[in-house]
Amino acid sequence: MDMGDIVANSFKYPLSNWKRFFLFGLIVLIYELPVQIISKYLNVSLYLILLIIPAIIAYFLMTGYQLRAIGSSLKGEDELPALNKWPQMFIDGLKVFILSFIYGIGPAIVLGFGFILLITGSTVAKVLGVIVLLIALLLFMVVYLILMMALPNMAYYGDISAGLRLREIYTKIKKIGRLEYFVIFIILIIIVGLLAIASGIISLLPVIGLVIASIIVIPFSNLFTARVYGLIYKETLDEEVKDPELQVENPPETETP
C-alpha cells in the first residue's frame, strides 16, 4: 500500500461504523467539556476542579480506544473496533500515557528551560532561549516520529516495553524507507494540523461549537491518525508474516457487541 492509499484508506476509516464513531465522540466530549469549564470558570469556584476526575477517565478511555483501533488495523480489519471491555480500554490508555510520557519528558524539560531563559534572562539569555526552544521543537518532532512506530509496536505485542525497543522500531522504519516514513509524517502533521484549526474555529461557536468539534472533528482526527499508524506498521508485518494476527499477543478485542 503506497502513501496515497494509506491516507485515502485512513480518511474512510473513522466513518466505517457511525454508531461506534459517535460513541467515541461522546467520550471525547466528556473529556473536552470539563477541561473547557475548568479553564474558564475555575476562578468562580474551586470545586470545579473535581471535574478533572471524569476528564481523566475519559482521556484514558479515549487513548485506549485509539490503541485498540491501531491493533484492529494491524489485524487487517477495516471497521472501527467495538467499544467494550472498558477496564481493559482504560488500562490501554494508561499504557499510551506512560509511553508518551517516557518519550516526551526530556523534550518537555528542554522546552521549559528555554521558556525560563526567554522570560527571565538577559538579552544573551533570550537568544539562547530561542535556540533552546528550537532544539526542543526538533526533539518533539523526533519523539513524534518514534511514537508513530512505537505505539503500533506496543499494540502488536501488548506490552509497554515493546514501545521502547528503539533498535527494533528503527529497523521497521528502515523497512518502510526513511524518506517515505518522513514524508508520511509531514502529510500527517499537515492534515491533523488543518483538522485542529477547523476544530478551533468551530469551537468559537458558543456551546454547540464545542459539541460539534468534540463529537465529530476531534474523533475523526484521532481515528484517522490511529489508522495511519496501524497501516504504516502493517507494511512491515507483511514482509514478516502472511497473517499478522498470528503474531499478535493479547490483541485488542474487536468483536461486535
- For the chain, what are the domain ranges? 3-247
In order of 27, 148, 150, 197, 210, the CA distances from 79 in angstroms are: 19, 21, 23, 27, 26
CA distance 123 to 108: 23
pLDDT band at 243 (very low <50, low <70, confident <90, very high): very low
Residue 102, SS3 per DSSP: helix
Q: Which residue has the higher pLDDT, 247 or 26?
A: 26
- 11-39 pLDDT, tens per residue? 999 999 999 999 999 999 999 988 888 87
* Strand spans (E) along 95-252: none
| Nearest residue to 55 via CA among 38, 74, 71, 31 | 31
pLDDT digits (tens, 9 = 90+) for 77-107: 999 999 999 999 999 999 999 999 999 999 9
pLDDT value at position 118?
A: 85
Q: What is the DSSP letter of 215?
A: I
Answer whether residue 245 shows pLDDT above 70: no
Please give the model's pTM, rounded to 2 decimal places.
0.85
Q: Do 61 and 89 touch, CB atoms closer than 8 A? A: yes
Predicted confidence at residue 46, as pLDDT, reads 66
Average pLDDT (113-133) is 86
Integer Cα distance of 112 and 129 in angstroms:
10
23-27, 40-44, 252-256: the lowest-pLDDT one: 252-256
pLDDT of residue 238: 58
How many percent of the chain have pLDDT more than 70?
Answer: 89
Give the chain's mean pLDDT.
Answer: 87
